[in-house]
Amino acid sequence: MTVVATTRRQAYPARPAARLPRLLAGLVGGRPAGLNQHESSFGPLPLPEAAWSGNEAAGRRAATRLIDVVERSGLTGRGGAGFPTGRKLRSVAAGPGPAVVVANGSEGEPASRKDRLLLSRTPHLVLDGISLAAFAIGATEAYLVVHDDDARLVAGLEAAVQAREVAGIDQVPIQVVGIEGRYVASEQTAIVQHLNGGPGLPTFAPPRTHERGVAGRPTAVNNVETLAHLAMIARYGHTWFREAGTPSAPGTTLVTVSGAIARPGVSEIELGAPIGEVLMQAGGPAERPQAVLVGGYFGTWLPAEEAWRVSMSHPGLRSVGGAMGAGILVVLPESSCGLAETARVVRYLADEGAGQCGPCIFGLPALADALADLAYHGGRGDAVDRIAGLIPLIEGRGACRHPDGATQLAASALAAFSHDARWHDVEGPCYGVRRAPLLPVPGDLESW
C-alpha cells in the first residue's frame, strides 16, 4: 500500500488516479457530506506528522515541501485572476510575522453556482484546504467568508467547523464570517477591509493583501475552489493533478453552465476542453445559439461559432480576448437580444459600484444609460459611437477593477453583436428585447 501523506490520526492510502470526477467525487444525494462521509470518500486531513511533532524546524520544512508540491502541480486560482497558487502561498509564507489565511466563498457573480455547491455539499474538502493553507504559510488565523444573507449556508458551515473542532482536526481554528451580498464585497481587498472592521468595499493597492492584509499581517486570500484543489493535491500529489487538463493548464475546474442549455448546472471539466464539448456535456443548446458569455459579468461575449472550438483555459481564452473568470458559460439563443442582456447587467454593475471614485460614480451610470438607450430605444445613429467613446474614459481609471470589468463586457458586446448594434442604432430595437431576461441579476434569481 502506497502512502502519500500521514496524519496524527491514521495513514492515508493513495487513491487510484481518476480523471473525473475529482472535487465532486464526494457528492452524496442532495445533502451535505458530513465529516464521516467526507473521510470515507477522501480520507482524513493529510497534514504531515511534522505538523504535530512540536519540532518547529521540521514543521517549516514540511510546510515548504507542501508549497513545493502545489507549485509543481501548476494550480492556479479559480476565483477569476488565475494567479499561481503556490507562488501566492510562498510569498505570504516569506512575509514578516504570523500570517492569515482567508477563504473567499462570497460568490459575487450572479451567474455562478460553483462555490455554493462546494460549500453546501462538500464543506469539509474546502475546510481541509483552509487548514492545509494555514499550515503551509504559518498562519495563526483562518477565515471562511460567505455572504451573510444566506443563513442556511452559514449555519451549515458553522456546524461543519464545530464537528471538526470536536474531532480535533484543525491546528488553526476556522472562523466563518458573513459579509454583505454586494458584487464588490467579494473582491479580496473588500474582504480584508471588512475583516479589519471597515466597510466591505475595495481599497487602493498597494499594499497588496499578501504584503499587508488582515490586521496588517501577510494574508493569503484564495477562492474556495482553489483550496479544495489544494486539499486534493496534498493527498494525491502534483503528478496526479496533472493527469487531467493540459501541460499549460493542468487539472480540472468547476464551471456553471446556464442560459439556453438542456441541463443547466455545475460541471467539473478538464481544463483545456473546448467550450463546445463542455456545452454538449450539459445536454447541448436548447435553442439555436447566437453567442456565449464566457467568464461572467466581467467576461466576454463570443459568437457561438467562434466560442465552440475555444479551449476552456486561461491561455485558450486569452487568445480570443476572453478570460476564465469564475468559470461561467451562458448560452444566448438567437431569439434573445445580446445588447439588451448586456444593458441589464451593466446597469446592475453600475448600481453595485463602490462609489469611491469617478468611474463608478459617473462613468458606469453613463455607460449603462447609453447601452439601455441603444438596446431599448434605438440610438438615432450615434449611440454606438457614444458607447465606444465612453469606454476608454472609464477603463483603467478606477480604484479597483470593477469599472474595467463592466467596460470589458460592454466592449465585447459591441464586437460580438456589431450587426445588431448598428441595426438598433438606425432602425430601433429588435424583436429580441421582448423576450424574458436570460442573465440573472438579483431580483430575478427566482428563475434559477
> CA of 358: how far to CAs of 2, 219, 408, in Å?
59, 29, 18
Q: What is the SS3 assignment for 276?
A: helix
Taking the C-alpha atoms of residue 14 and residue 193, their distance in angstroms, rounded to an integer, is 40
Q: Are 181 and 61 in contact (CB under 8 A)?
A: no
Q: Which three cell numbers stand for residue 280?
A: 454538449
Q: Which three cell numbers stand for residue 216?
A: 496588517
> CA of 36: how far to CAs of 18, 92, 167, 172, 405, in Å?
22, 32, 11, 20, 42
Mean pLDDT estimate for the chain = 91
The pLDDT > 90 percentage for the chain reads: 81
Domain with CATH 3.10.20.600 in the chain: 252-333
Taking the C-alpha atoms of residue 220 and residue 20, their distance in angstroms, rounded to an integer, is 28
The reported pLDDT for the residue numbered 13 is: 43
- DSSP E strand stretches across 123-232: 139-147, 174-179, 219-223
pLDDT band at 354 (very low <50, low <70, confident <90, very high): confident
Strand duo 289-294 + 328-333: pairing: antiparallel
The reported pLDDT for the residue numbered 444 is: 63
- Which of the listed CATH numbers 3.50.20.10, 3.10.20.600, 3.40.640.10, 3.40.1160.10 matches domain 252-333? 3.10.20.600
Q: Are 17 and 233 in contact (CB under 8 A)?
A: no
Taking the C-alpha atoms of residue 66 and residue 5, their distance in angstroms, rounded to an integer, is 11
Taking the C-alpha atoms of residue 372 and residue 123, their distance in angstroms, rounded to an integer, is 41
pLDDT band at 18 (very low <50, low <70, confident <90, very high): low
Taking the C-alpha atoms of residue 139 and residue 132, their distance in angstroms, rounded to an integer, is 10
Taking the C-alpha atoms of residue 65 and residue 79, their distance in angstroms, rounded to an integer, is 25
pLDDT band at 11 (very low <50, low <70, confident <90, very high): very low
pLDDT band at 8 (very low <50, low <70, confident <90, very high): very low
Cα angle vertex 80, ends 31, 220, to 5°? Answer: 85
CATH architecture of 3-241: 3-Layer(aba) Sandwich (3.40)
The region of weakest confidence among 108-117, 214-223, 302-311, 435-444 is 435-444
- Rounded average pLDDT over 148-159: 95
**Greater pLDDT, 224 or 31:** 224
The reported pLDDT for the residue numbered 380 is: 77
- Measured over the CA atoms of residue 419, residue 424, residue 430 and residue 432, the dihedral's sign is positive
Q: Which three cell numbers stand for residue 158?
A: 458553522
The region of weakest confidence among 3-12, 95-104, 181-190 is 3-12
Task: Encode pLDDT of 377-405 as tens digits.
Answer: 986 788 999 999 999 999 988 878 899 99
- Rounded average pLDDT over 107-122: 95
Residue keyed to cell 456553471: 256
- DSSP E strand stretches across 79-138: 99-104
Taking the C-alpha atoms of residue 222 and residue 302, their distance in angstroms, rounded to an integer, is 28
pTM of the model: 0.93
Taking the C-alpha atoms of residue 342 and residue 422, their distance in angstroms, rounded to an integer, is 15
The residues facing 302 across adjacent strands are 292
* Assigned CATH topology for domain 338-447: de novo design (two linked rop proteins) (1.20.1440)
The pLDDT > 70 percentage for the chain reads: 94
Taking the C-alpha atoms of residue 270 and residue 255, their distance in angstroms, rounded to an integer, is 10
Domain with CATH 1.20.1440.230 in the chain: 338-447
Task: Encode pLDDT of 43-63 as tens digits.
Answer: 999 998 888 888 889 999 999
- Rounded average pLDDT over 260-270: 97
The reported pLDDT for the residue numbered 398 is: 84
Q: Which of 338, 362, 358 is nearest to 423 (CA)?
A: 338
The reported pLDDT for the residue numbered 15 is: 53
Q: What is the SS3 assignment for 381?
A: coil
**What are the residues whose beta carbons fall under 8 Å from the beta carbon of 370, sequence distance 6 or more?**
383, 386, 387, 390
Q: Which of 353-357, 390-394, 443-447 has the highest mean pLDDT?
A: 390-394
The reported pLDDT for the residue numbered 20 is: 85
- Start-to-end C-alpha separation, the chain: 45
Cβ atoms within 10 Å, residue 366: 16
Taking the C-alpha atoms of residue 220 and residue 140, their distance in angstroms, rounded to an integer, is 12
- Rounded average pLDDT over 83-109: 95
Name the CA radius of gyration of the chain, rounded: 22
Per-residue pLDDT at 262 exceeds 90:
yes
- Rounded average pLDDT over 214-241: 96
The region of weakest confidence among 28-32, 234-238, 317-321 is 28-32
Q: Which of 187, 199, 254, 205 is nearest to 25 (CA)?
A: 254
Q: What is the SS3 assignment for 399?
A: coil
Q: For the chain, give the number of residues.
A: 448
- Rounded average pLDDT over 211-222: 95
Per-residue pLDDT at 7 exceeds 50:
no
Q: Which three cell numbers stand for residue 269?
A: 471539466
Phi-psi category of residue 168: left, alpha or beta, with phi > 0 → left and psi -120 to 50 → alpha = left
Task: Encode pLDDT of 266-276 as tens digits.
Answer: 999 999 999 99
Residue keyed to cell 459617473: 362
Phi-psi category of residue 203: left, alpha or beta, with phi > 0 → left and psi -120 to 50 → alpha = beta
Q: Are 439 and 329 in contact (CB under 8 A)?
A: no
Per-residue pLDDT at 16 exceeds 50:
no
Q: Which of 242, 293, 295, 236 is nearest to 270 (CA)?
A: 242
